[in-house]
Amino acid sequence: MLVGAHVDPIDPISEATELGINAVQFFLGDPQGWKGPKLAYAAGADALRADAEAAGVALYIHAPYVLNVASTNNRIRIPSRQQLQKQLNLAAQIGAAGLIVHGGHVLAADDPQAGFDNWLKAVDGLKIEVPLLIENTAGGANAMARTLERLGQLWEAISGSVNADQVGFCLDTCHAHAAGLELDGLVDRIMGITGRIDLVHGNDSRDAFGSGADRHANLGAGRCDPEGLAQVFATAGAPIILETPGDAQARRADLEWLNGKLKQH
């Protein structure tokens, strides 16, 4: 089973070795910016691919947070598509197992269907050489992937694309909790919509159920139902990437918590 963590992009393989994990996630450049992608690994893309394969470490890339291919604003949507393609290209070059991107949103005055249509156009127009994993989000009234109903509409739209089989789902447990989705039984409900869960972002939440706040906490130290978390981790059948706060010691504690729960299930 692949279990990993979000790490610094400068030397992700060394961090994986230090933490004793077999999967890592990192950004290709500034997560809040439009410039990029840029690989921080000094030896280059081909070397990173070879080094990861030799170490038995799966690589996942998280797209910048600013990307929003659902937007009805051309100045946001078009650069988002262009940047997403560039991210996919470099992710493929390093042999990544997937590229994660947030579901995005439309404005309060917009018809949500416009966002779903924009997602379909984006997926149709992309050259997808590594799985593109859409992540559920914590808040936003007109978010594309916050509620199960919206996720169903998004998946129905994407299913019409010639590239539909290259699009998967990333389930973030903090985001689900913040969005008001009960973790107990959530895997079955998601699978009933998407038919797949390709990755789990394993995070606790600093805030209350349904708060809409995207603030991660260490496993067992937040306000997510701990047994609900454990159930998701044990039943999703997907790699787990931790995005919890703190230093390496805090991350080791999270990994210990996670492994303990997996052994119980």
Domain count, the chain: 1
Does 64 score more than 90 pLDDT? Answer: yes
Domain harbouring 129, CATH code:
3.20.20.150
Written as one letter, the residue type at 191 is: M
The end-to-end CA distance of the chain, in Å, is: 14
Instruction: Label residue 36 by pLDDT band (50, 70, 90).
Output: confident
Give the whole-angstrom CA distance, residue 201 versus residue 171: 6
Exposure string over 45-61, b if 16+ CB within 10 A, otherwise e: beebbebbeeeebbbbb
Mean pLDDT estimate for the chain: 97
Task: Provide the whole-model pTM.
Answer: 0.97
Task: State yes or no: cis peptide before 239, omega within 30 of 0.
Answer: no
Would you say residue 141 has pLDDT above 90?
Answer: no
Give the helix/strand (H/E) hosting 171. strand 167-172
Tokens, residue 211: 């708060």
Q: Are 105 and 143 in contact (CB under 8 A)?
A: yes
Residue 128 — pLDDT band, cuts 50, 70, 90?
very high
- Per-residue pLDDT band at 13 (split at 50, 70, 90): very high
pLDDT band at 239 (very low <50, low <70, confident <90, very high): very high
H or E stretch at 134 = strand 132-135
Question: Which tokens go with 2?
Answer: 């692949």
- Give residue 140's pLDDT: 87
**What is the structure's pLDDT at 30?**
96
| Mean pLDDT (whole number) for 5-25 | 97
Q: Which DSSP symbol is given to 136?
A: P
Domain of 108 in residue numbering reads as 3-264
The set of residues, in sequence order, having a beta carbon less than 8 Å from that of 111 and lying 6+ positions away, is none
Instruction: Centre a 10 Å sphere on the Cβ of residue 147 and count the other Cβ atoms it contains.
Output: 16
Please name every residue paired with 198 in a beta bridge, in sequence order, or none if there are none: none
